[in-house]
Structure 1
């Protein structure tokens, strides 16, 4: 009976924490600037997010982080996500929201990185619908900077790479498990928040676009 009660209490606590974290999670399009990233701790840059809680205020370029040293085995007793958000706000507004809770990106929207003022905002986390000029459609998924593309009826879960050059352009390459490869160039059209890709996949010339307005979180 005691074990059952403790189990129910644990489940109840976990569900309550999940609801609270969901309420504190940020939403919408997020661009992490160099100023904000400098405040997220060294583990963010290395991708080691286990036990990490990150909160950001994109409007003010603020950020705060905390880490449970026993992660991922036992994070009880560490700083709560709500406390990290409070420190991020530092008594100057209520704009901070959760980005990461214990290795899980909870931000409800696409996340981009802009490492310097004059650099492009690159895909970091989220899902972008892909529209081909020949009518095909698919998705481009970013998981902490690792990109994968799938196109219905053509190929699934292919590795996708973007190499920025300058403020708005660059090159792209795709590689699939069945030996299908392709490459080309892309151009960011900032006015309509759309990126156009041109090149070849296999022996076929292709043109496709991704649009920020329809992107979502993962």
Structure 2
């Protein structure tokens, strides 16, 4: 019976994208502490069927799981995790992780405590790189559990990326493409239009401009190849 329930849950996720009856939706900003708890649970190798629910303001988190080899587990689409997280109605919680996969239907950010800046943690955002030589190149920033990638800068290749927040609206960035250019520079987030704009140079010293549209962020589909 448990295997049938798992199959039905998998079909539900496949048919409806990130939609799950108890999953959250829309932009989510997690505290650094909540992200550390999330990563701790995800890193436990002796657990299976991990489901996590979180309060939208990072005030509460609750996990349900099975121990490896423990036998059948109750599959309730995250209801127990939500009820545990809400603590009798004190918080409003939704499922963020279901069967080890992030299923939140929307972009997720983490609030950097020192810089007081929210940066992408899980999802995809449209981006653009511009230079005098290459012109405008449409790209996509993909972030999976805090690991950053950029697609579209080189045909058939995925570039890695990193950011270092420095204050409430700015910081440094780097984009490294396999066998190709490395872009480094600084970025500034505009509070007015919610677009991050960066300027820098590539390995040849040519000036480049980079932008990310945070307004158009989306959730990352479950079972993505990105980790």
Shift in Å, 1:206 = 1.5
Query: CA separation in 2, counterparts of 1:163 and 1:196?
Result: 14
CA-to-partner distance for each residue in 1:28-64, whole Å, 9 max, x for gaps?
A: 11000246457x46714x7558633211121473322
Say which of 75, 85, 94 aligns to 2:82: 85
TM-score normalized by the length of structure 2: 0.77
> After TM superposition, what 4+ stretches of structure 1 lie above 4 angstroms from structure 2?
34-38, 46-50, 152-155
Q: Is the 8 Å Cα contact of residues 139 and 152 (structure 2) preserved in structure 1?
A: yes
TM-score by length of 1: 0.80
CA change 1:202–1:151 in 2 (3 A) is farther
1:139 aligned to 2:140?
yes
Provide the alpha-carbon RMSD of the alignment. Answer: 2.9
Residue 119 of structure 1 deviates from its aligned partner by: 2.1
In structure 1, how many angstroms separate the alpha carbons of the residues matched to 2:164 and 2:203? 20
Q: Which structure shows the bigger proportion of residues in helix conformation? A: 1
Farther off after superposition, 133-142 or 151-160:
151-160
For residues 1-218 of structure 1, the aligned pairs below 5 Å read 12-18=4-10, 19=12, 22-34=20-32, 36-37=34-35, 40=37, 43-44=40-41, 47-48=43-44, 51=48, 52-59=50-57, 61-70=59-68, 76-77=72-73, 80=76, 81-92=78-89, 95-116=92-113, 119-133=116-130, 134-151=135-152, 156-203=157-204, 204-218=206-220
Distance 1:60 1:184 in 2: 32
- For residues 184 and 23 of structure 2, the distance between their equivalents in structure 1, rounded to whole angstroms, comes to 36
After superposition, what is the alpha-carbon deviation per residue over 1:187-214, rounded to whole angstroms, capped at 9, x for unaligned? 1112322211111234332212111211
Q: Distance in 1 between matches of 2:112 and 2:75?
A: 28
1:146 shift after superposition? 0.7
- Is this contact kept in 2: 1:66–1:79, CA < 8 A? no
Say how many residue pairs are matched. 206
- Classify the secondary structure of the residue corresponding to 2:67: coil
Question: In the superposition, relative to structure 1, how do residues 172 and 104 fare at CA in structure 2: closer, same or farther (>3 Å)?
Answer: same
SS in 1 for 2:218: coil
Q: Following the alignment from structure 1 to structure 2, what is the Cα–Cα distance between the partners of residues 65 and 89? A: 12
Give secondary structure in 2 for the equivalent of 1:86: helix
Is contact 1:109-1:217 (8 Å) kept?
yes
